[in-house]
Amino acid sequence: MPNLLLNLYKKMYLIREAEAEICREYPKDEMKTPMHMSMGEEAIAVGVLTAIGDKAQVWGTYRSHAIYLARTEDVNGFFAELYGKVTGPGGGKAGSMHLANPDKGVMMTSAVVATSIPLALGAAFSSKILDDDKINVVFFGDGATDEGAFWESVNMACLWQLPVIFVCEDNGLAIHASTAIRRGYKNLTNIMRQYRFQYIQEYDGTDVEKIHNITRSSIKYLESGPVFLSLKYYRYLEHVGVNEDFNSNYRDKNEFLEWYKKDPIKIQKQKLIEAGFKKEVEDVENEVMAQIKTAVDLAKAAPYPEPEELYKGVYDGE
Amino acid sequence: MESRIISYEKAVNEAITQEMTRDDRVFVYGLDVADHKRIVGTTAGLVEKFGPNRCFSTPLSEDSSLGFGIGASATGLVPINIHIRVEFLLLTLNQLVNIGNSLRYGSNGKLSAPLVIIAMIGRGWGQGFQHSKSMQSIFAHIPGLKVIMPSTPYDMKGLMISAIRDNNIVVCLLHRWLYWTEGHVPELPYTIPIGQSRVLREGKDITVVATSWINVEAHDAANVLAKKGISMEIIDPRTISPLDDQTIINSVNKTGHCIIADYDWLNCGFSAEVAARVSNQCFNQLKKPASRIGFAWTPCPTTRPLENLFYPNAVTIIRETEKMLGLSKTDLSNEKFHTYENKFKGPF
């Protein structure tokens, strides 16, 4: 178990520090791609994806730094893609908003809200028909629950009892609009209970171990049909960009300070230290920081795609 | 190859059935594909032969259904998504234009979407604003999509089989009236390459580039004008994207005259694309500027007299040809044209 706890911490620390590095480097304008930062949601990506493990086929959104690193731990490819280099998993064509690496389980991420949800359903159908051992999981924000594609997909997944995990990463905000000014109903989870999900769980916390365990217990229900997890977190930074925006009047910094008391990385570190793993934590942190430095150095040194790359990959068979 | 005369509708059904027999990854889904009408017969027998996992109707959720198909195609299956009207396909534009078309590009070539979309287009019987269009220019505008519009049963079967075997998204736009046409079709499976235009009729005086149903009209027009000694060459691009323009250019360089009769609106459309390429490649051979025929620049009216004016037909082509070649107006009062307006007795 200590290995698991340390592993969970390591992945969250990697995500947090990789993004901290982005915050430092972004003003140099070498990463020319709009950043939608994951800071605050690390426990969700790491908890869910560690629980599913190598079978996970992940479908996500433009806010997928955490998901990408949690699933792949491919920090070199991650930075190369952000720097627009040919060594990135998308050869630089995808950037931050479309991070994907199908060979390592991140299938695709979309910057039009809710639109990757139906793809996860199709992949779940494939898994069922082909009888493979993939587990399809789709991440989306609470903003996606305003979209038609969300409701269509919930209906189809429950109608056809598809083996897919819906993960609503609920930060209470769609861009700058709170759920309160967007919803004509009281409670999403209550509505989801009217659908034929096999398992529904709502969790309003930041404990990665708890999210890991919720996900673990949900997996067995996939044999019968879909699973819905609603996991709350707080978005630390602005909708797009690497800065705070507490002066913008749509939210109060005190909200952040409340959530920060239970920052997922902070509490996991505390747990590990209390359990006597101070040394291990330090080693992991050093290892991660070295990984990030190497990744950034490699990304900066890597070449941009050659001009002929522009036309490659539009059609298969060309 | 052994061939017999069958309908276009039967050719669609045969292509799908044979491909589903060959490859058990192929499945058919969409609104009402498994109901008692079976998309005017094109999906007949599929549920019975292949079971409900390989031919099933969906909720009225076109957008997510198409996304479902993209996800399934990216992970090992070959979906055929059928829309009984192209207008319903417009609900899926986000999935087609934002997701499907860039799946391969965005994954650095790792993912493909071998997805086939079949949509019925064009004129029926008083179909009004929303069951009457073609929209090929919209889909052909998007890199990453392929668009086919076969106009004969033979081309239909060969191109449909190619579409199913293609590892890209192929949008197949099939005109409602063509389902009734008949022609020689080999019984065994065969393919026609996507991206090859076809010379449907050879001629030397004028080139008519025609899409979908309007090939039938162009054929009638050519027969009438032949009596006056005018020899019309008809080119059916068959594939809208990627377009084989060389066949068109060769023809126009030969005839020096070009009419593009597109089954769509003209503005920013496929006809404009062909006209641009012709003017660019055949400038010195053109004796007159290329001209275009298409839908009236209005929504499609329901009432028959106005509907008749909305859609171009053989007479439109004859009059345009006469104008281009400086001929007097042919007396058409005794001509009988190929028309299906009255074959329809409603409701669909």
Domains of chain B: 3-186 (3.40.50.970), 198-325 (3.40.50.920)
- Is A133's Cβ below 8 Å from some Cβ in B? no
Chain B CA closest to residue A119:
B71
DSSP characters for A64-86? -HHHHHHHH--HHHHHHHHTT-T
* pLDDT tier, B126 (very low <50, low <70, confident <90, very high otherwise): confident
Contact A222, A196 (CB under 8 A): no
pLDDT surpassing 70 at residue B215:
yes
Selecting among B36, B83, B131, B219, the annotated active-site residue is B131
* Full residue range of the structural domain in which residue A133 is found: 2-308
**CA atoms of A237 and A214, how far apart (whole Å):** 27
Residue of B286, B223, B281 whose CA lies nearest to B259: B286
**CA atoms of B302 and B296, how far apart (whole Å):** 13
What is the pLDDT averaged over residues A286-300?
Answer: 98
**Chain A contact probe: residue of B23, B29, B64 with most A CBs at under 10 A:** B64
- Residue written as tokens 């950037």? A95
- CATH code for the domain in which residue A184 is found: 3.40.50.970
Q: Considering only CB atoms, which chain A residues are within 8 Å of B144? A: 314-315
* Helix A264-274 and helix A278-301, axial crossing angle in degrees, nearest 10: 140
Which pLDDT tens digit goes with each residue over A141-155? 999 999 999 999 999
- Residue written as tokens 């309908």? B7
Q: For residue B338, indicate whether it is catalytic.
A: no
What is the pLDDT averaged over residues A285-292?
Answer: 98
Do B75 and A122 count as a contact with CB atoms less than 8 A apart? Answer: yes
Residue of B210, B211, B178, B171 whose CA lies nearest to B88: B171
A315 within a domain of the structure (yes/no): no
- Is A59's Cβ below 8 Å from some Cβ in B? yes
Chain center to CA of A38: 7
Residue of A11, A1, A13 whose CA lies nearest to A46: A11
Indicate the pairing of strand A106-110 with strand A135-141. unpaired
What is the pLDDT averaged over residues B322-337?
Answer: 92
pLDDT surpassing 80 at residue B243:
yes
DSSP B277: H
pLDDT surpassing 90 at residue B55:
yes
- Is B69's Cβ below 8 Å from some Cβ in A? yes
- Residue written as tokens 């040194």? A301
Do A112 and B168 count as a contact with CB atoms less than 8 A apart? Answer: no
**CA atoms of B172 and B152, how far apart (whole Å):** 13
* pLDDT tier, B231 (very low <50, low <70, confident <90, very high otherwise): very high
**CA atoms of A118 and A121, how far apart (whole Å):** 5
| ipTM score for this prediction | 0.96
Q: Which residue has the higher pLDDT, A284 or B38?
A: A284
Q: Considering only CB atoms, which chain A residues are within 8 Å of B66? A: 118
User: What separation in angstroms does the CA of B276 have from each of B135, B248, B271, B317?
Assistant: 19, 12, 9, 20
Q: Considering only CB atoms, which chain A residues are within 8 Å of B71? A: 59, 118-126
What is the pLDDT averaged over residues A183-194?
Answer: 95
Q: Helix, strand, or coil here: B306?
A: helix
* pLDDT tier, B36 (very low <50, low <70, confident <90, very high otherwise): confident
What confidence score (pLDDT) does residue B343 get? 67
A52 within a domain of the structure (yes/no): yes
Do A315 and B106 count as a contact with CB atoms less than 8 A apart? Answer: no
What confidence score (pLDDT) does residue B346 get? 63
CA distance A122 to chain B (A): 4
pLDDT surpassing 60 at residue B295:
yes
- Is B105's Cβ below 8 Å from some Cβ in A? yes
A154 within a domain of the structure (yes/no): yes
A213 within a domain of the structure (yes/no): yes
| Window from B40-54, B116-130, B332-346 with minimum mean pLDDT | B332-346
A314 within a domain of the structure (yes/no): no
Which pLDDT tens digit goes with each residue over A129-138? 999 999 999 9
Provide the number of structural domains found in chain A.
Answer: 1
**CA atoms of B106 and A90, how far apart (whole Å):** 6
A75 within a domain of the structure (yes/no): yes
pLDDT surpassing 60 at residue A1:
no
Q: Which residue has the higher pLDDT, B340 or B223?
A: B223
- Is A316's Cβ below 8 Å from some Cβ in B? yes
What confidence score (pLDDT) does residue A86 get? 97
User: What separation in angstroms does the CA of A121 have from each of A136, A154, B40, B66, B164?
Assistant: 8, 9, 28, 11, 21
CB atoms within 10 A of CB B183: 18
What confidence score (pLDDT) does residue B265 get? 97
pTM > 0.80: yes or no = yes
Which pLDDT tens digit goes with each residue over A109-127? 999 999 999 999 999 999 9
Residue of A53, A55, A42 whose CA lies nearest to A14: A42
B32 DSSP β-pair partners = none
Tokens of B215: 């090939």
Size of interface A-B (CB pairs under 8 A): 148
What is the pLDDT averaged over residues B333-348?
Answer: 72
Q: Helix, strand, or coil here: B34?
A: coil
A174 within a domain of the structure (yes/no): yes
Q: Considering only CB atoms, which chain B residues are within 8 Å of A159? A: 59
pLDDT surpassing 80 at residue A318:
no
Chain A CA closest to residue B72:
A122
Contact B80, B28 (CB under 8 A): yes
- Is B63's Cβ below 8 Å from some Cβ in A? yes
User: What separation in angstroms does the CA of B243 have from each of B104, B146, B282?
Assistant: 21, 9, 16
CB atoms within 10 A of CB B6: 18
